[in-house]
A = this chain, B = another copy of it.
Amino acid sequence: MGTLIFIGMGIWNENDISVRGLKELVDSDVIFAEQYTGRMQEGSIERLEDAAGKKITVLSREEVEEEKTILKEAESKRVALLVPGDPLISTTHISLKLSAEKKGIETVVVHSSSILTAAIGECGLQVYKLGKPCTLAMWGKGFEPTSSYDVIADNFGRGLHSVVFLDLKDRCMDAKEAIEQLLKIESERHRLGEFKLVVLSRVGSGEQKITYGRPDELLKTSLGKPPFLLVLPGKLHFMEEEALQRFEI
């Protein structure tokens, strides 16, 4: 039987993989990657190919979820699956890991940096005040879910910070689109009242930009480039307040 190794690529580019992860790539027979649970800097996969000295096949969401392509190879070979961020954070990958184990395939996990802890740290917020995270869905015709708003409002009411991931489909959701969506729901539900937001752009990169302010101010300001992430801070400790002041509009 073979081995399936889940390797986190971390938050921005090919250098965010761990030393152990890179070693595992070099020792693998086959390398797959997915780019639908997160998006690395352009060219990162190609540069990892150079570093590993072998080809990396990027799989579609469907190919990862139907599992066959990966499990077939892993029955007899040492297969690596490169995943953006920390590799088991997506349910898809847990499911794949369980399927592999059921077939008697050995599984290995190589962890890496995650946008969740990186965002909290970059803002200067305390992880002990982190509420339930959520993902804001991209609205389309007849599809305007509001469940993330409830998560955020619940956290806010309890004084907790909300990390709000933005939807990723064929494109990364824009920060201003996300803010407008939140404002639209707030205008109907009124659970937040006065609030400020942190907009994080390209966390962990040399182009990282963090902006903090009221939603109406943020909509008039340049917020950087995608991918974005929002943090809606809860009750602030003075140290957190001081940390956020650095990013105030």
- With A89-B121, A132-B129 as contacts: A112 and B243 at CB distance below 8 Å: no
- With A11-B111, A15-B20, A23-B15 as contacts: A98 and B118 at CB distance below 8 Å: no
Q: Which residues of B contact A160 (CB under 8 A)?
A: 132
Q: Which residue in B19, B126, B127 is a CB contact (below 8 Å) of A16?
A: B19
Say yes or no for A8: interface residue by CB 8 A criterion: yes
Q: Which residue in B18, B116, B246 is a CB contact (below 8 Å) of A116?
A: B116
Contact between A111 and B204, CB atoms less than 8 A apart: yes
Interface residues of A in 149-187 (CB under 8 A from B): 160
Q: Which residue in B23, B91, B109, B127 is a CB contact (below 8 Å) of A239?
A: B91
Chain B residue, CB-CB nearest to A9:
B18
Q: Which residues of B contact A127 (CB under 8 A)?
A: 89, 116, 133
Chain B residue, CB-CB nearest to A8:
B113
Specify which of A11, A121, A124, A129 lies most central, judged by the most chain B CB atoms within 10 Å of its CB. Answer: A121
Contact between B133 and A132, CB atoms less than 8 A apart: no
Contact between A111 and B118, CB atoms less than 8 A apart: yes
Say yes or no for A223: interface residue by CB 8 A criterion: no
Chain B residue, CB-CB nearest to A93:
B121
Shortest CB-to-CB span from A189 to chain B, Å, is 19
Say yes or no for A138: interface residue by CB 8 A criterion: no
Interface residues of A in 59-103 (CB under 8 A from B): 85-89, 91, 94-95, 97-98, 101
Q: Roughly how many angstroms separate A235 CA and B246 CA in the complex, as a whole number?
A: 39
Say yes or no for A58: interface residue by CB 8 A criterion: no
Specify which of A17, A112, A127, A160 lies most central, judged by the most chain B CB atoms within 10 Å of its CB. Answer: A127
Shortest CB-to-CB span from A156 to chain B, Å, is 13
Q: Roughly how many angstroms separate A125 CA and B109 CA in the complex, as a whole number?
A: 15
Which residues of A pack against B, CB within 8 Å? 8, 10-11, 14-20, 22-23, 51, 85-89, 91, 94-95, 97-98, 101, 109, 111-114, 116-118, 120-122, 124, 126-135, 160, 204, 239, 242-243, 246
